[in-house]
Structure 1
Amino acid sequence: MADTTRPNVLLVLTDQERHDLVAPDGVPVETEAIDGLAADGVRFSHAFTPISICSSARASLLTGLYPHNHGILNNVHEPDAVRTDLAETTPTFGTALREAGYRNAYVGKWHVGRTETPEDFGFDYVGGGDDHHDAHLESGFESYQRDYGVDPEAVEPRDPVYATFGDSRDLLGGTLPIPAEATRSAFNAELTVRRLEQLADGEDPFFHRVDFQGPHHPYLVPEPYASMYDPAALDPWPSDAETFDGKPQVQANYRGYRGVEELDREEWDRLRTLYMGFMHHIDDQIGRILAKLDALGIAENTLVVHASDHGDFTGGHRQWNKGPFMYDDTYRIPLVVRGPGVAGEGRVCDDPVSLMDLMPTFLEAAEEAVPEGLDARSLWPALRNDSDREMRDAVFGEYHGDEMGLYSQRMVRTERYKYVFNAPDIDELYDLDADPAELQNLVDHPDYRDVRSRLREQLAEWMQETGDPIAQFTARHLRGS
């Protein structure tokens, strides 16, 4: 007899999806499937990633720990990786759910370990990884494309946009001249649909995770999605007005490092519409997966979660990709939950929450004990809409550098304010009520002296309480004024 006391769980994770792609007042992208989840469940308006780097954020999701506690501080596939794999003794929700009798499956991007795989953390790996991040995993994508008459080695994007580095250049986006059904996003959806058909007949509950590689750049988008949004119709984004006045020098430097200094407005707008089309395409694949849940008759007992590891600049603050910037463009993420036990039907929850909070949330759904010592907390009080729930008054973030070099940052964000500690440069303070685009750094403004002192103290306390290894060196600075 099937276990219906514990829900199935479907986690749909995207890669570098901005929070405002699915916000009602955000970027005008059509996301019918995700909007449907929100209409039947809960959308968290203030969800954040603990770090805006893929491997580190994904490890925090898996462990419920801040990066300085799980040790994956930057991307594991890069030569400057501080640590390339999680410690075998680190508790993860995958291992805990497998031990609790869940049938775990994993599709798509992994990027948590250079040698470790989802199999090491309680998942059956189905396929769909990409060679750039997960060369040690079997993908199956190339043979899938050939079934659609596509030669993977002969695909060249039309109307490409490049970043330039002297005589070299990197592809940022373009139109993919293949059927939409032959993309990696469609492949990951197909693998998920097939796996759900197998999982639906079992007696034990399942946990299925599908990690789409988009809308991460390069934005390679098939038709009709590549032409779905008109660059000429795009309004400027508020943060396009960035001047870098009063900001850390690295922000201006990074434009050269990313090779985007020479991009003109037309190229930026084309990249933005490709990004939007990419997300539209992914949403259609999510729709296929949700339709399969309905067709199999298991939607009612399946907890569905949509989130992203972190956001994407896409030209915001005149930047590309991500880096040593703690703006909401990359630290604020989408988070939507629907399913049994969720008090939803279109509710918007403004509680400050973190991506890593999903780890104990999944364990509580499975009626499993949550390990001691986590930095995360379960979302279930907010999902149930408990009136007496304890809410955070702030969320925290960190950054340790990527390809350009190590660069320590820490962040505290309240509902109204954000304070960023930049170890090698000027700190940042933003009044998000007055300046939601985070254009004016108020760290030295006399009218904000008390706010600055309060947030610095709050950040110092968090660093010490969570065992941040640089706390001993920064406490004097943070408490100095």
Structure 2
Amino acid sequence: MGTKPESGPNPNPKPNVLFIMSDQHRYDCIGYSRDYPVKTPNLDRLAAEGAAFANAFTPIPLCCPARQSLLHGRRPESFESFWNADLVPNRELEPSAYTWPRELRENGYATGYVGKWHVNREHPPTAYGFDDYVGEQDYRKHRAARYPDVQFTNGFFGEVDPVELPDTRTHWLAERAVRLIETYAASGRPWHLRLDFPEPHLPCQPHASFLARFESEDIPQWRSFSDSFRNKPYIQKQQLLNWGLEHYAWSDWEPIVRRYYAVIAQLDDAVGIVLDALKRLGLERDTIVVYTADHGDMCGGHRMMDKHYILYDDVVKVPLIVKYPERIPAGARIDRFVYNLLDLPPTILEYAGLVPQPFFHGASLLPLLRGDEPDDWRTEVVSTYNGQQFGLYNQRMIRGERWKYVWNMTDVDELYDLRTDPDELHNVIGDARYGGVLAELRLKLYDELKQRRDPFVQFDWTKRQLTEGRKASVR
């Protein structure tokens, strides 16, 4: 550990774990995806040195329950966490609950948490298995002391952050993470550091130097921007009215998306600070590095804002990169369907020589990371949503390579043929040609929800919607 050269033997059989998570980072807004022109050289480097997943999905596209699910290893509805408790009262993960960081600490790891928490309003990370905690409140104090007169005026639509780059939130948090890593490396103990960036969650407030990188760039219109919402749930069009976006053209959205690109590039630069520190300290070989996001962001996709009332790929599909030198082949690209927040807990525990908990809802990614092709690996993923902010609205999604079905319990369902309609513009739920596909997906979804003890399939009327197809098919 410490400053020993990478060419020597690993003096500690337990790997370090650097877990970096961002907030609302779209899967298609990362350089190596070659989809939209976002510049992320450090994340691209991480992917080139490790494994990148092409089909990673969040179990729920909402901050608090997603983060609770990651710590606990189970779907949020299974422990009655449904939405963000700071907006609507909700059961939060209690400190008495199992968390895998606590298990790492109990097995000799030093543990630290830097950045956004958003798990429990009363209890900090130190109540969940982390020794050290540097949070957003610490950054706010630093910023208020140095820039007492700086104020933002453009609300959720974002603007330039005028402070010096080292004093931006991305770079300040990255430097605090480096300081903890240096401390842990000097101790000789294995360590786990969680670094949670609040970016690129709206409002996007990039430093001017990163916005300048995109000022001369053409910002392409999202391919889903032409959505007419024909034969789609009422609440989707209502979302535009809630935000006051119903008359926004692409010319209105372009500067907002430009700032989203810029703050992702800034986040990437901050990630580079931490990755460079690992190399400087001689820790690369002995450290598992994970990068992912709690969920994505509409940011104008389907003309929508934020992530509410929908289960489009914009919000449920996320970046996922895992690097562990000499154990994971460099440059691997994995197409299998995975859950970033549910599959990572058993994966990390196995790498640490520990046995995953039997109650976990995910599966270890080790076979995929070794290059194996398990015959029994899942072919679909399920994501959920329970409403937030503008009202409660329950949805459940099952998504495979070709088909996506969304069960909207109180409105018309959605069915998308991703082979012919990858941007989910045409809801074919009422097309009789797909009746067999629909029935099969509904039964698969019901079985998964029942197995995971989702509370919304315990009633006969909801069960019959899925098992008997008792749903109106068109609006």
TM-score normalised by structure 1 residue count = 0.92
User: Within 1, Cα distance between the matches of 2:113 and 2:379?
Assistant: 34
Q: Equivalents in 1 of 2:445, 2:326: separation in Å? A: 34
Q: 1:199 offset after TM fit, Å?
A: 1.0
Q: 1:37 to 1:380 in 2, by over 3 A?
A: same
Aligned: 1:287 with 2:272: yes
Matching residue within 138, 149, 152 for 1:154: 149
Kindly indicate whether residue 471 of structure 2 is the aligned counterpart of residue 476 of structure 1: no
Per-residue CA distance 1:280-334 (angstroms, 9 max, x = gap) = 0010010010000000001110000000000000100010001010000000000
1:42–1:342 CA contact under 8 A, matched in 2: no
* Structure 1 position 336, deviation (Å): 0.3
The separation in 2 between residues aligned to 1:403 and 1:423, in whole angstroms, is: 18
**Amino acid paired to 2:410:** P
Question: How far is the alpha carbon of 1:225 from its aligned partner?
Answer: 1.1
Cα distance change on mapping 1:318 and 1:140 into 2, 3 Å: closer
Equivalence map 1:317-356=2 (5 Å): 317-340=302-325, 342-355=327-340, 356=342
Q: C-alpha displacement at 1:389, in angstroms?
A: 5.8
Q: Any idea what the Cα deviations from partners look like across 1:28-56, whole Å, max 9, x if unmatched?
A: 11101110011011000000000010001
CA contact (8 A) 1:400 1:407 kept: yes
Q: Tell me which amino acid in the other structure corresponds to 1:36.
A: R
Q: 1:140, 1:436 → 2: CA distance?
A: 40
Could you tell me which residue of structure 2 aligns to residue 87 of structure 1? 94
- The secondary structure found in structure 2 opposite 1:104 is strand
Residue 58 of structure 1: aligned partner = 67
Q: Which moved more, 1:250-259 or 1:88-97?
A: 88-97
Aligned partner of 2:7 in structure 1 is none
Equivalent residue for 2:113? 106
What is the CA distance between 1:478 and its match in structure 2?
A: 1.1
Out of 124, 127, 133, the residue aligned to residue 131 of structure 2 is 124
Distance 2:36 2:71 in 1: 29
**Distance between the aligned counterparts of 1:388 and 1:323, measured in 2?**
35
Q: CA RMSD in A?
A: 1.7
Deviates more, 1:2-11 or 1:419-428: 2-11
Alignment of 1:381-400 (within 5 A): 381-388=367-374, 390-400=376-386
What amino acid sits opposite 1:423 in the alignment? M
SS at match of 1:176: coil
Contact 2:297 2:315 in 1 (8 A): yes
Q: Quick one: distance in 1 between partners of 2:412 and 2:439?
A: 15
Q: Alpha-carbon deviations, 1:91-141, whole Å to 9, x = none? A: 111111111111000000000001121001111233132xxxxxxxx4144
- TM superposition shift of 1:232: 6.7
Q: Deviations over 1:219-254 (max 9, x none)?
A: 111111123213771222110010000100000001
In structure 2, the CA distance between the partners of 1:231 and 1:61, relative to structure 1 (3 Å rule), is: farther
SS at match of 1:304: strand
On the 8 A contact 1:395/1:414 being kept in 2, the answer is yes
Q: Deviations over 1:123-178 (max 9, x none)?
A: 1233132xxxxxxxx414432564xxx41x42134xx6x5xxxxxxx432111122
> How many residues align structurally?
457
The match for 1:377 is 363
Deviation at residue 179 of structure 1 after TM alignment: 1.7
Which residue of 29, 52, 60 corresponds with 1:21? Answer: 29
Q: In the TM superposition, what is the alpha-carbon distance from 1:345 to its structure 2 partner? A: 1.4
2:422 corresponds to which of 436, 450, 457: 436
In the TM superposition, 1:192-271 aligns within 5 A as 192-230=177-215, 233-271=218-256
Secondary structure in structure 1 of the residue aligned to 2:448: helix
Q: How far has the Cα of 1:420 moved from its partner?
A: 0.3
1:73 to 82, 106, 128: 82
Q: Verify: 1:419 aligned to 2:405, yes or no.
A: yes
State the Cα distance separating 1:479 from its structure 2 match.
1.9
CA distance in 2, matches of 1:237, 1:143: 37
Match of 1:30 in 2: 39
User: 1:428 Cα shift?
Assistant: 0.3
Whether the 8 Å contact between 1:239 and 1:437 is mirrored in structure 2 is yes
CA contact (8 A) 1:46 1:352 kept: yes
Residue 258 (structure 1) shift:
2.1
CA distance in structure 1 between the aligned counterparts of 2:297 and 2:34, rounded to whole angstroms? 18
Q: Work out the CA distance in 2 between the residues paired with 1:391 and 1:434.
A: 25
Asked if the contact 1:41/1:347 (under 8 Å) is kept, the reply is yes
Give 3-state SS (helix, strand or coil) of 1:420's partner: strand
2:54 to 41, 45, 58: 45
Identity of aligned residues (%): 36
Distance 2:50 2:79 in 1: 31
Q: C-alpha separation between the residues in 1 aligned to 2:249 and 2:151? A: 23
What's the offset of the Cα at 1:341? 5.5
What runs of 5+ residues in structure 1 fail to find an aligned partner?
130-137, 163-169
TM-score (norm 2): 0.93
For 1:214, the aligned partner's letter is: E
1:5 aligned partner? 13
Q: Is the 8 A contact 2:139 2:169 kept in 1?
A: no
Q: What letter corresponds to residue 398 of structure 1 in structure 2? A: T
For structure 2, the 5+ residue unaligned runs are 3-10, 470-475
1:40 and 1:254 map into 2 onto residues whose CA distance is 40
State how far apart, in whole Å, the 2-side matches of 1:127 and 1:227 are.
30
CA-CA distance at 1:82 after TM superposition:
2.0
Q: Aligned equivalents of 1:235 and 1:87: distance in 2?
A: 44
